[in-house]
Structure 1
Amino acid sequence: MEKKLRDYEIGIAKLSNKKHFYEFELDDSFFKLFEGEIILGGNLLAKVELDKAEALLTFVFDIKGHVRLTCDRSLEEFDYPIEVTETFRIKYGEQNAELGDDLWQITPGTQSINIAQHLYDYVSLAVPIKKLHPRFLEEEDEEDENDILIYSSKSTGNDAEDGDNNDDEDIDPRWDALKNLN
């Protein structure tokens, strides 16, 4: 049975003002609902706590499990562990509007909230930019340890003088004339 986006709706109109708890399974059929090539599938459990107050709805998402990704180096599929906790708030107002990344405004007559996009976004944001199969992670760590970055914004007096002397010998005479324009 294929899941539909309606499976992720929470009816808020008839809820009493208190905490409510929900659980959603995010499996391969969930990820097929979204167009994206980052996450191939997965098996996660999303626990959602909804604290309904008179003028504010506060959702706390606790998502744990793993997603299936494609390694950027070897193109092999692998499971990547995900553990996410996020908070999202909705307040009541005159019109529906997105007031920020984690704050929406809805009209008092809104009957339900669909949280599927929020679940997908939170999981997607937990995926690293560089997706490496676990067998390559040790190699990456070793490479990072061996790399040495040296940065200096000051030059020693001798280096500056030596550089100037060498540069003077190779300077085009037209540039030499410009030095005297101070």
Structure 2
Amino acid sequence: MKPLKEFVIQFVGLKVGKHHFEYEIAQAFFDYFEYQEFNDVNVKVNVTLEKKSTLLELHFKAEGFVNVNCDLTNEPYNQTIESEFDLVVKFGDEYNDEYEDILIVPHGTYEISIQQYIYELIILAVPIKRVHPGVKDGTLGSDILKKLEELSPKLNENKEKEEEEIDPRWNTLKKLLTDK
């Protein structure tokens, strides 16, 4: 996959010290990755690159929202996102990205693409179970919720019916248990 130009940081010309980069992530970014789970995206990602003499330290911070469908009602809602991630870039003989928070790039590399790290940062910030806030506080009125309420088992009512429908012969056996 060809890297997007705006997510490539050329660190060779940068002075030793901290450098800040800001990115506005929209739906087009996820379309590029062919990720279809989000309806809309509005996330700001701040990247702080601290250049040192032998390595680079990157700190990613993402804040914003993604519009997703609720897992219970399929109603779209805005899921807020706040996430942070630290990455250390070291220089070595060959490229190695086996570790989660350490990236080794070959000597002579002059730029780094951070688009994959931003993509994963946002994807992993979304909860596994996505529930509309209206479902949690009971303010969402939905046909699906009404149908779920109708079809949910009624535990207390079923117990009372079962006790009424017990064969009377079993009642005498119950007395044996209590007559000890």
Alignment partners' CA distance in 1, 2:40 and 2:102: 28
Structure 1 unmatched ranges of 5 or more: 140-182
Alignment partners' CA distance in 1, 2:39 and 2:101: 26
Contact (CA 8 Å) 1:99, 1:105: kept in 2 or not?
no
Count of paired positions:
136
Q: Does 1:48 align with 2:47?
A: yes
- Identity, % of aligned positions: 31
Alignment partners' CA distance in 2, 1:39 and 1:122: 14
**1:34 — aligned with what?**
33
* Partner secondary structure for residue 97 of structure 1: coil
- Equivalent positions of 1:69-108 (< 5 A) are 69-108=68-107
Contact (CA 8 Å) 1:31, 1:40: kept in 2 or not?
no
TM-score (norm 1): 0.70
* Partner secondary structure for residue 21 of structure 1: strand
Over the aligned positions, Cα root-mean-square deviation in angstroms equals 1.4
**1:120 — aligned with what?**
119
| Counterpart residue type for residue 126 of structure 1 | A
Deviation at 1:42, TM superposition (A): 0.8
- Summarize deviations over 1:20-48 as a string: whole Å, max 9, x none: 11000011111211122333331111111
**1:144 — aligned with what?**
none
Distance 1:40-1:89 versus aligned 2 partners, 3 A rule: farther
* Partner secondary structure for residue 124 of structure 1: helix
Deviation at 1:108, TM superposition (A): 2.1
**2:135 — aligned with what?**
136
Structure 1 stretches of at least 4 aligned residues deviating more than 3 Å after TM superposition: none
- Summarize deviations over 1:40-77 as a string: whole Å, max 9, x none: 33111111100011111100011111111111111121
Alignment partners' CA distance in 2, 1:33 and 1:73: 28
Structure 2 unmatched ranges of 5 or more: 139-180
* Partner secondary structure for residue 60 of structure 1: strand
| Counterpart residue type for residue 114 of structure 1 | S
Alignment partners' CA distance in 1, 2:120 and 2:136: 25
